[in-house]
Structure 1
Amino acid sequence: MIRHLVLFKLNEGVTRDDPRVVAGVQAFEELGKQIPELRFWECAWNVSDRPIAYDFAINSAVDDAEALQRYLDHPAHQAGVAQWREFATWVIADYPF
């Protein structure tokens, strides 16, 4: 299994109630039901207000590297990523577990 973690930081001046952000969150919330390669899926806003904290997180899992690539290439994932590119940056970690 591979854990896929993504931490998102909203761009300066962008807030959680921005309509683009609301739509982006909804797109990511639905991915768990749309992409069969996902064995585990959760996403949520960070509750920490520490200065180094990121704003939003995805925690997911797939069977192997091939499944991860299929997830990354899936049209629903690509559409969500395109939305988030408009208002956030992110960091990613993929590791076996």
Structure 2
Amino acid sequence: MLRHLVLFKLNEGVTRDDPRVVAGARAFEELGGLIPDLRSWECGWNVADRPIAYDFAINSSVEDAEALQRYLEHPAHQAGVALWKEFSTWVMADYPF
């Protein structure tokens, strides 16, 4: 199994109530039920208010590298990424567990 973690940071001046952000969060919240290769799916807004904190997180798992690739290429994932590219930057890690 692989864990896929992504942490998103909203760009300067962008807030959670921005309509683009609301649409992006909704798109990612729906992914868990849309992509069969996902074994687990969690996402949500960070509640910590520290300077090093990111704003939004995805924590998911897939069976293997091939399943991860199918997830990354899935049209629903690509649509969500396209939204988030407009207003954020992110870091990610994939690791076996």
Distance 1:31 1:45 in 2: 16
Residue 45 (structure 1) aligns with: 45
Q: Deviations over 1:43-70 (max 9, x none)?
A: 0000000000000000000000000000
Q: Structure 1: which 4+ aligned runs deviate by more than 2 Å?
A: none
Normalised by the length of structure 2, the TM-score is: 1.00
Amino acid at match of 1:77: H
The equivalences for 1:17-56 within 5 A come to: 17-56=17-56
State the identity as a percent.
Answer: 84
Where does structure 1 lack aligned partners over 5 or more consecutive residues?
none
Distance 1:32 1:42 in 2: 8
- Extract unaligned runs of 5+ from structure 2: none
Q: What's the C-alpha RMSD, in Å, of the aligned pairs? A: 0.2
Partner of 2:64: 64
